[in-house]
Amino acid sequence: MSDLLRSIEVYLAHLRTRRGLAFNTQESYRLDLHDFADYARDHQVESVADLNRQLLRAYLAREREELSRAAATLARRISSLRGWIKYLSREPQWRLASAVSLLGFGRRLKRSRTLPRALSTDQMSALLALAKKKTDDARGRGRLAAMRDWAALEILYSSGLRISELLSLLPGAVHWDAGSLRIFGKGARERLVPIGGQALTALREYLTERSRQWPHLSRKGDGVIFSNKQGRPLSRVLMESRLRLLGRAALGTRVTPHQLRHSFATHLLLAGLDLRHLQEMLGHKSLEATQIYTALTPSNLKKVYERTHPRA
């Protein structure tokens, strides 16, 4: 293993053990840094001491050309590199040349933040109605899968969870009487989020059907809510594919878990929810991440203003 690749592996281990990052974030760092390591090796750079601004600029130019329509991916890769370089600059074991100049790499990159593509309330109603209808029509094992999809949809829209948070949800995290969920999100940050009555109903019916068809999971009394027959968590790929099928059947368009999170946030904000309360519900570390939802149409903002301002 080259010196450069070894430094990347040490940094990735640091992220796993010290930073408490979500698995998907860690995986993004790994893919980005390994991509750069491959590029550096192709240009005969396999030592940290040989890192230089010219190599980074050349890599950035290639990425800009190949990812011309994926500015978010380009920005993420630069962020991954800058985090790694900053870590190396603090560790004396790595002979990092020109650390100060390298730390500024990619800082001037400008990326416009695209607005979330939220579904309308009518679209959400149609999507949820179809999911519920499929539970009524299904039989046997198909009924359990349909009830799981319905419960997942209701929870994602009712509480604004990330897909990773949904799939790691434990039975003990559901506070049935209080109508809330205890969530451990990014960075192991804990938060309580409300869950609506219809979502609780869907979840209760799904768990009842799961206990009927898979009683061994109920006897064990542990494991995640959204699991397979063996009690292991469902894969993100499976859940996303199920939502895509429902979206195309109900709306004729692709629906993603993150789009449901966007819809949750946008609909609450349009109804007049305070931005800081929304930040808490979404589990954002900073208010800046939540402020993207304020870029709404003037007509919607006008309606909220007229309904909430005392002298409108």
- pLDDT, residue 239, reads 92
Q: How confident is the model at residue 297 (pLDDT cuts 50, 70, 90)?
A: very low
| Catalytic residue selected from 76, 162, 242, 262 | 162
Q: Is the dihedral of CA 273, 276, 277, 279 positive or negative?
A: positive
- pLDDT, residue 305, reads 59
- How high does pLDDT run on average in the chain? 83
| pLDDT above 50 for 112 | no
- pLDDT, residue 296, reads 52
| pLDDT above 90 for 216 | no
Is 186 an annotated catalytic residue?
Answer: yes
Task: Clarify whether residues 150 and 298 are in a common domain.
Answer: yes
Task: Clarify whether residues 73 and 164 are in a common domain.
Answer: no
Q: Express each pLDDT in 252-284 by its tens digit.
A: 998 999 899 989 988 888 888 888 898 899 988
- Structure tokens of 66? 């190949």
Is 162 an annotated catalytic residue?
Answer: yes
Is 261 an annotated catalytic residue?
Answer: yes
116, part of any domain:
no
Mean pLDDT, residues 3-29: 85
Task: Clarify whether residues 94 and 126 are in a common domain.
Answer: no
| Catalytic residue selected from 132, 148, 261, 262 | 261
**CATH code at 227?**
1.10.443.10
Is 293 an annotated catalytic residue?
Answer: yes
Is 258 an annotated catalytic residue?
Answer: yes
110, part of any domain:
no
When comparing pLDDT for 182 and 2, which is higher?
182
- pLDDT, residue 311, reads 63
Residue where one domain finishes, among candidates 58, 76, 103: 103
When comparing pLDDT for 224 and 64, which is higher?
224
Task: Clarify whether residues 43 and 133 are in a common domain.
Answer: no
Q: Please state, for a pLDDT cut of 70, what percent of the chain lies above it.
A: 81
Residue 221: strand, helix, or coil: coil
Q: How confident is the model at residue 203 (pLDDT cuts 50, 70, 90)?
A: very high
Mean pLDDT, residues 163-171: 92
Is 305 an annotated catalytic residue?
Answer: no
Task: Clarify whether residues 267 and 136 are in a common domain.
Answer: yes
- pLDDT, residue 303, reads 60
Query: Where does residue 107 rank: exposed (0-12), middle (13-18), buried (19+ CB within 10 A)?
Result: exposed
Residue where one domain finishes, among candidates 72, 103, 134: 103
| Catalytic residue selected from 19, 258, 267, 303 | 258
Exposure b/e, 38-65, CB count within 10 A at least 16 = b: ebbeeeebeebeebeeebbeebbeebee
Residue 175: strand, helix, or coil: strand
Which structural domain range is residue 222 located in?
121-308
Mean pLDDT, residues 30-45: 89
| Catalytic residue selected from 34, 143, 175, 186 | 186
Q: For residue 27, what are the contacts with CB-CB under 8 A and spacing of at least 6? A: none
Q: Express each pLDDT in 224-256 by its tens digit.
A: 999 988 888 898 889 999 999 999 999 999 899
112, part of any domain:
no
pTM of the model: 0.66
- pLDDT, residue 198, reads 95
Q: Express each pLDDT in 68-109 by its tens digit.
A: 546 777 788 888 888 888 888 877 776 665 554 565 665 555
